[in-house]
Structure 1
Amino acid sequence: MAILDYSDTIWRNALGMPQGQEPDALILEGTWWRETATASRLDLLEDVRELPFPDIFVGTWHGLTIAYCCAYGAARAVEPAHIFAQMGTPVLIQIGTCGTLNMDVSTGMVALPESCAARDGVSQYYGAGETVFAAPDLVDLAHARLIARDVQPARTRHLTWPSLFAQSDEMCAGWTREGLVSIDMETSAVIAVGDRFGAKVLSMLTVWDALPHGRTFMDSLEPDDAARLSRSNAEVFEVALEVVEAVQYAGA
C-alpha cells in the first residue's frame, strides 16, 4: 500500500500513540541549524522524548502535549505534518525564517502569511490549488500575541518555493509584481496537508533575507538587525505555544 493511502492506525502503531494521545499541536521549523534550533526549542518543554521516527520530539508545556520537528523544505515538512494531522492533531504551526520581497518589511519583523502561492512541488498531491490559506483565527491570535511582545508582524501574501538557491533576480522581480511579500520553503505544503486532514495551520516566519536589497543569508547583518532577528526568532516559538494554549482553552 502506498503511504498516501495509509490509515491513521498505521501511524499510531508505529509511534505507540493510541487514539486520544495525539499531540495538541505540531510545531515545525525549517532551518539548516537543526541541532541548535532543536536544543533551544525543546528547552522550553518538559518531559521531552524522541519518537521512534528520528528528529521528531514530544514534550509538554502548561499541560499541553507539543510535538516539534526541525524539517527543512516542503518535501521533508509534509512528512511529520501528514503523520500528526492524519492522527488528529488539530493545529500545525510552521516557524523559521523567510525572505522578504517588500522594501517595507524589514529584518526582524515576523511575516504572518494569510494566503500562500503553493509552488513548493508537493502541495498539489494533497489536493491544493494555486493558492492556499492559513487559518484566519490563528493569524489573528498570533498577530495580537506578537504585538503584545513588541514584535512587529506583517500579514503577507506569501510564496512557498522549492529551493532557497533556485531564485534569480528576474524571478524575484516577477514575484514582486504579483504582490507577493514573503517567501519560504515549507508553508504552503504544510497548509495543504492540514487542509487534507482537517487541521488548522499557522505560519510565523522571522524575516531574514531582504531580496530587494540584494541581501541573502550569506551577507552580514548590521548589529541592530542581527539583534532583532535573534529576538523575534526566540519570541515566535513562545507565541506558537501561546496560540496552541488559546485554541485549547477556547475549545475546552
Structure 2
Amino acid sequence: MFIDSHCHLDRLKLEEFDNNLDNVIDAALAEKVNTLLCVSVTLQDFPAMAEQTAKYDNVWLTCGAHPLNQDDEIDPEQLTNLATHSRVIAIGETGLDYFYAPETKPVQLDSFRKHVRVANQLNKPLIIHTRDAQEDTLAILRAEQAENVGGILHCFTESWEMAEQAIAMGFYISFSGIVTFKNAAALREVAKKVPSDRFLIETDAPYLAPVPHRGKQNQPAYVVEVAKHLASIRGTSVAEIAKQSSENFHRLFPQTA
C-alpha cells in the first residue's frame, strides 16, 4: 500500500475526471494508494475543501496558508479554530518561498511564526514549504521550538545539509515527482542519504506530474511512480519503499494507522 503524503484535491481540474472526485480516489485505490493527505493553501478555502472531501474515510486534512498566498494577514485565532476540525492532522502548508516572492518576505516570516505557534498549541505536526530560504526556515523552526511537534519538509528540493538539520529536529523529508526529472541529479543524491525512517512520498497533485506523466495533470495515483524512482535511487524494491514510507507516515500521524 502507498500513501500520498501531500496533494491538493480541491485544486484538481475535475473535468478530466468526469467532474467527479470519486474517480480520482478510485484511480488511486486501483494503484494501492490507500491514504491521502489533502493540504490546505488558504484559510478561506479550507471549509470548502473539508466539505468536498468529507465522505472519504481515507482522506485526511491539513489547515494553513501557503507562503505564496499571503493576501490577508494570518489570524492565529481563525487558524486555531479551523484546525480543530476532526480530520485535520497537521498545520500548513506554511513556510517560506523567496524564489517566487522575495518581496513578501516580512509577511511570510510573520505568517510562518504564527503557524508554528498554533502547531505547538494544538500539538499537531507542520507541513513546510521552503524554497531558496534555507537559513530563515531553519532559524524559525528552532526559535519557535518546532521540534516539539515535528512535521514534513514537503516536495523537498534543497540541500542535504538542510535535510540533515531538519531531520535532527524531528522532521521527515518528502519526495515528489521532481525526483524523476532529468535535471534533478542533486536531489537524487539527497534521496540516497535520507535515513529509511525519515522519508515520505507525495504527488503535490495537481502539480509536478512525475515521469512518465510529464505534461499531464498530476493525481494521487501517480505517487507510485515516485516510489519506483526512489526505489531505483536507493537500490531497494518498490514494495520496501511503499512499506517504509507508509510506516513513517503512520508514525508521524498515528491516528491514520
Length-normalised TM-score, structure 1: 0.31
Higher helix proportion (structure 1 or 2)? 2
Question: Which structure is richer in relative contact order (CA contacts within 8 A, separation 6 or more)?
Answer: 1
Higher strand proportion (structure 1 or 2)? 1
